[in-house]
Amino acid sequence: MSKLQDNISCVEVLSQNECEEIASKVLGLRDHWRDRGTFWTLGASTYNDEVMAYPGIAWQDNAILTRYFGKLLQEIADGFEQALKKPVIYLHTHGLPGFHIFDHTANNLEGSIHIDQPETRCWWPCETKDHFSFTLAIELPNGQGGMNLYEGDYETIENHTGPLPNPEYMPYEPGYLYMHDGQIIHQIANPIDMKPDQHRITLQGHGATLSSEQVVLYF
Ligand SMILES: O=C(O)CCC(=O)C(=O)O
Ligand SMILES: [Fe+2]
């Protein structure tokens, strides 16, 4: 039987050591985290920031992301370039792929069930196509965490009144990057309670192809 997770591709991009180094840098940059209510981001994000404010926030936060995570961002762009066989670029008007950070204060909270449409919340120099989303797991509490995937069409799930169908849980592994077209109905899953010193840290990004066939990565 085919599984929903067959729609998600997965590739190892970081070693355990690299994940630990990145996580410790993210935690050390707490002064630069943006409070999103039940979690934080390090970086501007289309779905958290007002459309008009996004370029300014991106301009500010991109300075931090390039300063501390320049090598990682280059490696991510190189990896996508090889996989997609198209030039991959970062735009100055857009937030660079950035971090989602959760701690124990998110215990027992449900993530929103959604599809991704970040391309509708930012300016583009031309029409875009082939939108996709990716998540690179950096640190998970006791190695646990992933994404819930839901069968069905989004409208039905969005307007549901009764109980939701059971999701398929797709576990992440630190160091692995998960990529999908954003149209699969999904939800951040934090299946275990975090202790006060534990975090769920991921690098989150989206992709869009410009009419020039350049692929833009952004958050
Ligand atoms: O953090 C994750 O596991 C997925 C995040 C997500 O769905 C999103 O940022 O749109
Ligand atoms: Fe999403």
Residue 197 has pLDDT above 70, yes or no: yes
Q: Does residue 99 contact residue 73 with C-beta atoms inside 8 Å?
A: no
**Which residues line ion ligand 2, judged by CB < 5 Å?**
116
Going from the Cα of 146 to the center of ligand 1, the distance in angstroms, rounded, reads 9
Share the mean pLDDT of the chain. Answer: 96
| pLDDT given for residue 1 in this prediction | 65
202 lines ligand 1 (CB under 6 A): yes
| pLDDT given for residue 144 in this prediction | 97
CA-closest candidate to residue 119, choices 10, 9, 209? 209
| pLDDT given for residue 190 in this prediction | 92
135 lines ligand 1 (CB under 6 A): yes
Going from the Cα of 193 to the center of ligand 1, the distance in angstroms, rounded, reads 18
**3-state SS class at 39:** coil
pLDDT tens per residue, range 122-152: 999 999 999 999 999 999 999 999 999 999 8
116 lines ligand 1 (CB under 6 A): yes
26 lines ligand 1 (CB under 6 A): no
Query: How far is the C-alpha of 103 from the C-alpha of 39, rounded, in Å?
Result: 7
**3-state SS class at 75:** helix
Name the token pair of 130: 């082939």
100 lines ligand 1 (CB under 6 A): yes
Nearest atom within ligand 1 for CA of residue 45? 9
pLDDT tens per residue, range 146-189: 999 999 888 877 777 777 789 999 999 999 999 999 999 999 99
Query: How far is the C-alpha of 117 from the C-alpha of 120, rounded, in Å?
Result: 6
Q: Considering the chain, what percentage of its residues have pLDDT values greater than 90?
A: 91
> Which residue has the least CA distance to atom 1 on ligand 1?
188
pLDDT tens per residue, range 8-25: 999 999 999 999 999 999
| pLDDT given for residue 157 in this prediction | 77
Q: What is the dihedral of CA 39, 44, 49, 50, to 10 degrees?
A: 170
| pLDDT given for residue 212 in this prediction | 98
pLDDT category of residue 113 using cuts at 50, 70 and 90: very high
Residue that the structure tokens 């954003």 belong to: 182
Query: How far is the C-alpha of 138 from the C-alpha of 122, rounded, in Å?
Result: 26
200 lines ligand 1 (CB under 6 A): no
41 lines ligand 1 (CB under 6 A): no
Domain ranges of the chain: 16-146+180-198+208-218
What is the arithmetic mean of pLDDT over 202-218?
Answer: 98
pLDDT tens per residue, range 68-95: 999 999 999 999 999 999 999 999 999 9
> In whole angstroms, how far apart are CA 59 and each of 67, 76, 93, 142, 197?
13, 20, 7, 34, 31
What is the arithmetic mean of pLDDT over 34-38?
Answer: 97
Nearest atom within ligand 1 for CA of residue 100? 1
Going from the Cα of 115 to the center of ligand 2, the distance in angstroms, rounded, reads 6
